Structure 1
Amino acid sequence: MRPRHWVRVVVCVVVSTVVAACGAGGAANRTADGRTELTVATFNEFGYEELFREYEAAHPDVKITPRKTGQGAPHHQNLFTKLGAGSGLADVEAVEEGYLSQVMARSDQFHDLLEIGPKAVTPDRWLRWKVEAATTRNGRLIGYGTDIGPLALCYRKDLFAEAGLPSEPDDVRQLFATWDSYFAAGDRFVAAVSGVAWFDSAAQIFNAMHNQHDVGYFDTSDTLVVESNPDIRNDWNAVTNAVARGQSAKLTAFSNEWNTGFKLGRFATTTCPSWMLGVIETQAGPENAGKWAVTDAFPDGGGNWGGSYLTVPKQSRNAGKAAELAAWLTAPEQQIKAFQARGTFPSQIDALENRALLEQVNTYFDNVKAGALFAAQVQKVKAAQHKGPADGQIQEDAFGPALRSVEQGKNANDAWGTAVKEAKKIAG
């Protein structure tokens, strides 16, 4: 999740026969009854629990043992520590998009899935930009794409009506056409409704805006361009000006206060990657069913926020078998099942055209066909933004805290200087 709190899963596999050609690192783990043990380390949720049982049923010689970490940051810290140590990793490791650049910088420690994976699994299964992000400059594919996070906006219908704003999804599109129109609607809202903010968090809005640009914190040469990229400063100014006009609820995303904010109706809109629908339903609770809505519009076009990959480190004890499991978990059929289980949105083209996805109805959000809505939003994403070294850390540890300081009263220009300074320190 970006901040790195969104729902993601890591898969780790240890299988039986050692394949020397795949760079195996030792004898495979076996259970007491002689089955091959496939260890699956996860962070948060991917909807894989039933899939693991299905895989075991089709492979009776395999036992999958899940391991789950509550959030993504500890998992990735562990991943990079063990990469440095040269041992201790599982056979398949998931990598969230915000950390992918750090993995790509160590691509020589991961297998090329085009070489060791099933030959029928070709890159054209996935959205082009999803594959490109995990492909090295010399053409090695480091990860199989799992989910993605096409962007829409979620809003409170009842609060919009109270403010005299359009409240039905078809009518709300005009408010969300551009970021200018979005913030203008926010001014109208806060003037009409007391005690309720327009959006939840400055960082959430800024991160969504930032992810839309072709160039973000780093250019394609991995040079930090925070100061020279005018889009970043323009986004900063737009968001901090909205904060100054009272539009932010000043809630840190995924904090207890933010969770409570959904339940108590403390803000009217929030950025909605596809995976956010489940978060809202959980936190807002059954008493707010039907009050939240989502529309197939996002300011200034589409965008993607979130998504992961399954990789096979060269530490894998059985890289060939590990790649087989990773390929199976990311196949269209399994991506649809994971979506139905946990709302993780597919990145495979066939899955995006599947009737089960397109006909999926979300009763919490006023019976919207959420699958079809987000499939349409995917088509607005033409390329994935290049994520340079420590991109996720800059988002979390430089710009996030700086934006929160503005919400607490710090001068926006001073906070910008702090964010730039911290970004340079992180980038080295």
Structure 2
Amino acid sequence: MRSIRNGLVLALGITMTTFGLAACGGDDGGAPAASDPNAKVELSLATFTEFGYEELIPEYERLHPNIKITHRKTGQGGPYHQDLITKLAAGSGLADVTAVEEGHLSNVLDKGSKFNDLTKIGPAEVSPDRWLGWKYDAAKTKDGKVIGYGTDIGPLAMCYRKDMLEAAGMPSDPEAVKPLFATWDSYFAAGEQYVAKTGGKAWFDSAAQNFNAMVNQLPTGYIGTDDKLAVETNQGIKDAWTKVTGAVAKGQSAKLTAFSNEWNSGFKQGAFATKVCPAWMLGVIEEHSGPENAGKWAVTAAFPGGGGNWGGSYLTVPTQSKHPKEAAELAAWLTAPEQQIKAFKAKGTFPSQVKALEDPALLSETDAYFGGAKIGQLFAEQAKKVAKPQYKGPGDGQIQENASSPALQAVEQGKSAAEGWTQLLDAAKKITR
């Protein structure tokens, strides 16, 4: 998911299918033979929504006169990744540098032999310490291959309506609200208080949005490290389900489906007081809340349970590429701290590189819509709170979209928590059958 400023929306519910086998380019991911540095090379780069590369591509071509880049950019991540799956199965058609969203990464890692190991073909100076440790490690296959250079991330904070909390007689200053958002227990307890003080107004937008963030904080998701369904045995998922559905039963949810028309208009109408807020969500909030609500929204450097990540992508080099070395060099350059700061300035994509997170250009970034909040510094702090990547097995994202989210929506529409849990399990088993 991308763009703090622009609010361009990627469908966060992700449909995943096990990738087929790629026939071209070999499977060993080894370094290619040395090539003539002056030979003309045409590279293709495939991305979706906003990566902030429009000005970077001609800059790279100026620095490398022998390289010509064709940028294939699509508007929505869902169709993009479906097309990626088709081309991977066909064994042809993938770009030399192919972006992959983190929610789809598990299925890509499952077919890691179809992507080059960037530690073998990438520039020698590109070391793991360029990135936050959890971002780098998430792109490793089980046998240790690194198949992606990290681009942006979605560190989690909490956004809320200052005016609505004030009207309920609750703290509203970004520092004063931190205790409300310290843990999920304190968050839902504050929600119960808010509902009581406002005569039944909703505390949050969607049960699924909170549940997804809670599940993303766990060491493993819906699939265990043995790549088998783990919903029934993962106590963290059960606990998250109990807390979220309990909050729904107490009237805390606005019962809106994320990214629906009703959800979009809910921002402007003040349909809920708080929002789980990865960095890219600021642009979404501003877009849908409208100028009349400028200054009413605030963001605080606090998130229940400490921290987490929701969103971000990687640049991969499929073994289909005829120019893997040159493709890896392009991917490395685009994910260097200097270029990621330029991308952030262009489109608000929040960088994952250590030096970028310490850059004054990022740390000084403020957002007038959110009362002049120092969003660069705030989200840099939140990014560093993430300890390690969650293990996501094949089908994890598909379970999120097609099992857990519909089950929670069913609970919001009247099903009992037990009935919803059964619906989740049945749907998850069908996906992983």
Q: Check the 8 A contact 2:30/2:121 in 1, yes or no.
A: no
How many residues align? The count is 408
Change (3 A) 1:21 1:395: closer
RMSD of Structure 2 on Structure 1 (CA): 2.1
Structure 1: state its 5+ residue gaps.
9-19, 25-33
Measure the CA separation in 2 of the matches of 1:214 and 1:262: 32
Measure the CA separation in 2 of the matches of 1:242 and 1:6: 23
TM-score (ref. length: structure 1): 0.91
SS of 1:197's equivalent in the other structure is coil
Instruction: Decide which of 90, 113, 117 is 2:118's aligned counterpart.
Output: 113
Corresponding residue number in structure 2 for 1:173: 178
Task: Report runs of 4+ in structure 1 exceeding 6 Å deviation.
Answer: none
Corresponding residue number in structure 1 for 2:11: 5
Q: Check the 8 A contact 1:4/1:392 in 2, yes or no.
A: no
| C-alpha deviation, 1:226, in angstroms | 0.3
Tell me whether 1:319 sits opposite 2:313 in the alignment: no
Counterpart amino acid of residue 171 in structure 1: A
Q: Check the 8 A contact 2:32/2:121 in 1, yes or no.
A: no
Query: 1:69-112 CA distances to partner (integer Å, 9 max, x unpaired)?
Result: 22212111111221111111111111111111101111111101
Counterpart amino acid of residue 88 in structure 2: L
Tell me whether 1:53 sits opposite 2:58 in the alignment: yes
Corresponding residue number in structure 2 for 1:242: 247
| C-alpha deviation, 1:366, in angstroms | 0.6
Corresponding residue number in structure 2 for 1:286: 291
Q: How does 1:12-411 map to 2 (within 5 A)?
A: 36-194=41-199, 196-411=201-416
Which stretch shows the higher mean deviation, 407-416 or 158-167? 407-416
Counterpart amino acid of residue 322 in structure 1: A
| C-alpha deviation, 1:48, in angstroms | 1.6
* Identity among equivalent pairs (%): 64
Measure the CA separation in 1 of the matches of 2:334 and 2:13: 16
Query: 1:288-311 CA distances to partner (integer Å, 9 max, x unpaired)?
Result: 111100001111211111111100
Measure the CA separation in 2 of the matches of 1:308 and 1:50: 19
Counterpart amino acid of residue 314 in structure 1: T
Query: 1:19-65 CA distances to partner (integer Å, 9 max, x unpaired)?
Result: x97569xxxxxxxxx97543332211112222223223333444433
Corresponding residue number in structure 2 for 1:11: none
Query: 1:285-339 CA distances to partner (integer Å, 9 max, x unpaired)?
Result: 2111111000011112111111111000011121111111111110001111112
Q: Check the 8 A contact 2:110/2:141 in 1, yes or no.
A: no
Query: 1:225-256 CA distances to partner (integer Å, 9 max, x unpaired)?
Result: 10011111111111111111111111111122
| C-alpha deviation, 1:218, in angstroms | 1.8
Measure the CA separation in 1 of the matches of 2:417 and 2:200: 23
TM-score (ref. length: structure 2): 0.90
Change (3 A) 1:281 1:205: same
Measure the CA separation in 1 of the matches of 2:55 and 2:198: 45
Q: Check the 8 A contact 1:7/1:44 in 2, yes or no.
A: no
Which stretch shows the higher mean deviation, 49-58 or 104-113? 49-58
Q: Check the 8 A contact 1:176/1:297 in 2, yes or no.
A: yes
Counterpart amino acid of residue 97 in structure 1: E
Counterpart amino acid of residue 321 in structure 1: E
Counterpart amino acid of residue 125 in structure 2: A
